[in-house]
Amino acid sequence: MLGFPTPYANELLYSTIARAGIHDGEMSPKQLLDSVFSNRKVIATVDLPSHIQDIEDQYPKALGLDVTQLINSHTLLPIYEPFIPTERITAIRNWMSDDSQGAAHLASGVAASRIKTKEKLLLCQECVSEQRAIYGEAYWDRRWHVPLVKYCIKHGRPLFETDIELNGNQRHAFRSILEVTQIHQLNVTDSDVKFANLAYQLIDFKTTSSPSIGQWTAFYRRLAVEYGFQLGNRIDHRKIDDHYNGYWGKAWLANSDLNTTTKDTSWLKGIFRKHRKSFSFAEHLTVIDAISSGSLSIEEAINRAMNIPVQHHKIKKEVHVKLVAAHTDQFEWIDLLKEHSPKAARLLKQALYTRLYRNHYDWLMIINEKNKGSTNYINNRVNWSQRDRRVAKALLIIINTLEQDLSLPRFSRAYLLKKLTPRTTIEKNLHRLPRTLALLERYSECIDEYQARRLTRAIILLLQRKEPAKPWLLLREAGLSHERMTHSVNKLFEEILKHDSWRKIQTS
Site residues, Zn ion (CB under 5 A): 124, 126-127, 152, 154-155
Q: How far apart are CA 279 and CA 80, in angstroms?
A: 10
Q: How far apart are CA 290 and CA 390, in angstroms?
A: 38
**CA nearest to 45, candidates 113, 87, 104:** 104
Is 455 within 8 Å of 448 (Cβ atoms)?
A: no
Name the minimum Å distance from CB 126 to Zn ion: 4
**CA nearest to 17, candidates 5, 26, 8, 28:** 5
Q: How far apart are CA 359 and CA 83, in angstroms?
A: 24
Is 256 within 8 Å of 282 (Cβ atoms)?
A: yes
**Which of 183/296 has CB closer to Zn ion?**
183
Is 134 within 8 Å of 140 (Cβ atoms)?
A: no
**Which of 76/452 has CB closer to Zn ion?**
76
**Which of 73/131 has CB closer to Zn ion?**
131
Name the minimum Å distance from CB 11 to Zn ion: 14
Name the minimum Å distance from CB 122 to Zn ion: 11
Q: How far apart are CA 374 and CA 381, in angstroms?
A: 14
**Which of 155/172 has CB closer to Zn ion?**
155
**Which of 145/360 has CB closer to Zn ion?**
145
Name the minimum Å distance from CB 127 to Zn ion: 3
**Which of 154/482 has CB closer to Zn ion?**
154
What is the residue type of 444? S
Name the minimum Å distance from CB 466 to Zn ion: 42
Q: How far apart are CA 397 and CA 387, in angstroms?
A: 16
**Is the Cα dihedral 120, 125, 130, 135 positive or negative?**
positive
Name the minimum Å distance from CB 48 to Zn ion: 23
Task: Provide the angle, in degrees to the nearest 10, between the axes of the packed helices 500-507 and 487-498.
Answer: 60
Name the minimum Å distance from CB 162 to Zn ion: 14
**Which of 156/468 has CB closer to Zn ion?**
156
Is 384 within 8 Å of 429 (Cβ atoms)?
A: yes
**Which of 127/452 has CB closer to Zn ion?**
127
**Which of 126/179 has CB closer to Zn ion?**
126
Q: How far apart are CA 379 and CA 305, in angstroms?
A: 42
What is the residue type of 431? H
Complete DSSP assignment for 411-460: --HHHHHHTSSSHHHHHHTGGG-HHHHHHHHHHPPPHHHHHHHHHHHHHH
Residue 83 vs residues 87, 167, 214, 217, 275: alpha-carbon distances, Å: 12, 26, 12, 12, 11
Name the minimum Å distance from CB 155 to Zn ion: 4
Q: How far apart are CA 355 and CA 181, in angstroms?
A: 58
Name the minimum Å distance from CB 82 to Zn ion: 25
Name the minimum Å distance from CB 124 to Zn ion: 3
**Which of 155/304 has CB closer to Zn ion?**
155
**Which of 143/453 has CB closer to Zn ion?**
143
Q: How far apart are CA 230 and CA 40, in angstroms?
A: 56
**Which of 47/141 has CB closer to Zn ion?**
141
Phi, psi (degrees; rounded to nearest 5) at 163:
-90, 10
Beta 120-123 vs 160-165: how paired, if at all? antiparallel
Name the minimum Å distance from CB 150 to Zn ion: 12
Name the minimum Å distance from CB 153 to Zn ion: 8
Where on the phi/psi map is residue 378: left (φ > 0), alpha (ψ -120 to 50), or beta? Answer: alpha
Q: Please name every residue paired with 235 in a beta bridge, in sequence order, or none if there are none.
A: 230
